Amino acid sequence: MNHSNPTFLWGAATSSHQIEGYNDKNDWWAWEALGKIERGERSGSCTDHWHRFREDLKRAADLGMNSYRFSVEWSRLEPQEGQWDSEAFDWYFELIQECERLGLVPMLTLHHFTLPLWMAEQGGFSWERAPELFGRFTRKVVERLGAKVALWCTINEPMVLTAGCYLGQFMPPAIYSPEKARMACHHLLKSHVIAYDLIHREIPKSESRWKEITPQVGIAHNMIDFVPDRTWSVIERWLAEQLHQFYNISWLDAITGRGQRFGFPMLMAQAPIVPEANERVSVDYLGINYYTRARVQFTPKLNGPPINVAFARKGEAASDVDWPIHPQGLQKVLKIAGSYELPVYITENGIADRDDDLRPRYIREHLREVAMARQNGIDVRGYYYWSLLDNFEWVKGFDPRFGLFRVDYNTFERTETHSARVYQEIIEKHKSFGGGAEDLVKLASFLSE
């Protein structure tokens, strides 16, 4: 591998609970049984990826991808505290071997929203034992799978997880508790640092075809382009900046040892709901999940915070989940990520588009912003579209269609979308330029056509 111009990674991302099927020992499965999902849907067999992973990975490889981001399901591997399921570990080992056979560099995510029910019942990441238990889980994964994995993502979207569980109430246990939110942020950061150190300290000697890739550990951090709903409003401009610092910046500062530049004590919390700064850099790369822009509104009322976040305006081009299409925001968040002087991967970017009308242009426009970011000196090393397949989109159930491949949930038949072919064309064009990260710059004009 040319280390001065490393191979750019083209991939797609998935998560275990959203595609595998019958993860029936985690907190989401239990939450679904309580009727918490739109239309009363339950994940059930999802896309049946558990039995169809080989054909799904082949589809990714056939599009020209050279990487695949997936997560391991903690509740499968440790269904009861201290009890480990060897067959589940074997399945993930087979999945990684299949990635290797097909030339897909695996990026393994340790935690993507779900928790074993036994841990959730004790408070999840608000529980003081959470970092210890996450460390033990990480050690087991490293022991069993680490020799085949070079790219690691410890935690997916820690700020979304915290907000969903204890503020916005759209994830289990769905309770409003700023204090628990603060504790969860604290424990998530500690869990990440423990995992980072453990992976680097205990990872086995590489037995994969990618021996030349030095193991890298990062997180996947969701970033939103917050803007004032009314640009003339001084208060809304100020609130947008507060949300930006709180939501986008606090975690980046915490994992890069910069100290807490800004602690926004939102939602009447006794202490800022942000992670305390780590004493040092605890990431080798920054993973950025970017989808959209959000409009911040000042909505004074007697009880609760005087703030609202809105998305698409009437008549504005938007996804099926009402997220406006805003590629310029990706350039903005990449500039921020680049200021930390670490390699950057776009670990998620995609659109819910059941008719596949908007997705081709969405992909091209967002990748143009990625190419321009590289041109501006930001060390972008890879792009993972969300998602390879249609899947179970959490509280939204099966209705949103993010996949490059359409899934018939009755027959589990996969159908290639036009967007998949567009993505393939872009990958092939980049490879014709050389396939390196620096060669991404040459895509900018092609993507503007």
- From residue 321, how far is each of 17, 18, 317, 353, 372 by CA, in Å? 20, 17, 11, 9, 27
- Could you report the per-residue pLDDT of 7-54, keeping only the tens digit for each? 999 999 999 999 999 999 999 999 999 999 999 999 999 999 999 999
- Three-state SS for 427? helix
CATH-assigned architecture of domain 9-222+282-290+325-448: Alpha-Beta Barrel (3.20)
Residue 442: helix, strand or coil by DSSP?
A: helix
Give the whole-angstrom CA distance, residue 337 versus residue 351: 22
Say whether pTM exceeds 0.85: yes
- Do residues 259 and 277 lie in contact, with contact meaning Cβ atoms separated by under 8 Å? yes
Nearest to 53 by CA among 36, 75, 73, 38: 73
Q: Any alpha helices (H) in 35-157, and if so which ranges? A: 49-62, 74-77, 86-102, 117-120, 130-145
Report d(CA 349, CA 363) in Å as an integer.
8
The residues that bridge with 372 in the sheet, in sequence order, are: none
**406 has a pLDDT exceeding 80:** yes
Q: What is the DSSP letter of 44?
A: T
Task: Round the average pLDDT of the chain to a whole number and report it.
Answer: 94
Rg (CA), the chain: 21
Query: Coil, helix or strand for 10?
Result: strand
Answer left, alpha or beta for residue 109, where phi above 0 means left and psi between -120 and 50 means alpha: beta
pLDDT at 259: 66
> 3-class SS at 403?
coil
Tens of pLDDT, residues 194-237 = 999 999 999 999 999 999 899 999 999 999 999 999 999 999 99
CA distance 146 to 348: 23
- Per-residue pLDDT of 424-448, as tens digits, reads 999 999 999 999 999 999 999 999 8
In this prediction, residue 206 carries a pLDDT of: 94
Record the tokens describing residue 46, joined without a space. Answer: 């999802």
- Structural contact between residues 223 and 288, judged by C-beta atoms closer than 8 angstroms: yes
Burial class (CB in 10 A: 0-12, 13-18, 19+), 262: middle
Residue 307 pLDDT greater than 60, yes or no:
yes
Cβ count near 78 (within 10 Å): 22
- Report residue 260's pLDDT band, with 50, 70 and 90 as the boundaries: low
What gap in Å lies between CA 378 and CA 334, rounded to an integer?
7
Domain boundaries, the chain: 9-222+282-290+325-448
Looking at residue 265, what is its pLDDT? Answer: 46
